[in-house]
Amino acid sequence: MSKDVIGAVMVVGGGISGMQSALDLANSGYYVYLIEESSAIGGVMSQLDKTFPTNDCTM
């Protein structure tokens, strides 16, 4: 691996997976481009009412 690698990552998809990847990378020193097709992030999870098995509010 050459020295001059680019310290940025593109994450494609702003659902729960994309958000988690983006946060982990940003918190460990990388610039992140989070690409989302729709007008807001959150993905399918944001449509769910509560989550199994804790019945926590999804938001």
Partner 1 sequence: MEGDPGHFSARVYQTPRYVDISKCTSCADCEAVCPVELQNDYEEGLTTRKAIFKKYTQAIPGTYAIQKTSPAPCKLACPAGLNVQGYVQMVKMGNYKRALEIIMEDLPFPGILGRVCTHGCEDACRRCEVDQPVAIRDLKRLAADQYDPREIQLSSKPKRDEKVAIIGSGPAGLSTGYFLARKGIGSTVFEALPEPGGMLRVGIPEHRLPREVLEKEIEVVTNLGVEIKTNTPFGPNLTIDQLFQQGFKAVYLAIGAHKGIELGVPGENLKGVRQGVAFLKDVALKGTTEIGKKVAIIGGGNVAIDVARSAIRLGAEEVSVIYRRSRDEMPAFKEEIQATLDEGVNIVYLSAPQEILSDDGEVAGVRCIRMELGKTDSSGRRSPIPIPGSEFDLEVDQVISAIGQQPDLSSLTDITGLEFSRWGTIEVNSVSYATDIEGVFAGGDAQAGPWTVIGAVATGKEAAESIERYFDGVDMSAGREIAPIEDVEYRPVDEVEPGVDRVKMPELPAAQRAGNFNQVELGYTEEEGQSEASRCINCSYCSDCGLCVEACLPGAVNHMELPVERDLDVGAVILTSGTDVFDPAKLEQFYLYKHNPNVMTSIEFERILSATGPTNGHLVRRSDDKEPKKIAWLQCVGSRDVNQCDNGYCSSVCCMYAIKEAVIAKEHAPSDLDCAIFNMDIRTFGKDYERYYERSKELGVRFVQARVHTIEEDSNTGNLLLRYATVDGEVLTEEYDMVVLSVGMEPARSAVEMAKEIGIELNQYNFVQSEEVAPVASSKPGIYVAGVFQGPKDIPHSIMEASAAACAAGLDLSSARGSLVKERVFPEEKDITGEEPRIGVFVCNCGTNIGGIANVPEIVDYVKGLPNVVHAEHNMFSCSQDTQEKMVNVIKENNLNRVVVAACSPITHEPLFQETLKDAGLNPFLFDMANIRNQCTWVHSDEKEKATEKSKDLVRMSIARSRYLEPLEYLTVGVNNPALVIGGGISGMTAALGFADQGFPTTLIEKTDELGGSAARQLKKTWKGSDITAYIQGQINKVENHQNITVLKNTEVVDSSGFVGNFETELKVGDLSQTIKHGATVVATGGRATDTDEYLYGQNPRVTQWHDIEENLDKFDDINTVVFINCVGSRDESHPYCSKLCCTASIQEALQVKERFPDARIFVLHRGIRTYGEREDLYREAREKGIIFIKYTPETKPTITEVNGKPEVLVFDAILGRYIQIEADLVNLATAIEPEENNAVTSAFKLPVNEDGFIMEAHVKLRPVDCSTDGVYICGMVHYPKPFEESITQAQAAVSRAVNVLCRQQVNVEPIVSTIDQDLCIGCGLCIKTCSFSAIEAETIEGLGVRAKNISALCKGCGVCAVACPQQAIYMNHFNNDQINAAIKAGKSIA
Give the shortest CB-44-to-partner 1 separation in angstroms.
Answer: 6
CA separation, residue 58 to residues 6, 7, 19, 22 (Å): 35, 32, 14, 19
Give the shortest CB-52-to-partner 1 separation in angstroms.
Answer: 4
**Residue ranges in 1-59 that form contacts with partner 1 under rule CB under 8 A:** 1-13, 15-21, 24-31, 33, 35, 37-57, 59
CA triple 13-49-59, angle to 5 deg: 55
Contacts to partner 1 by CB under 8 A: 1-13, 15-21, 24-31, 33, 35, 37-57, 59
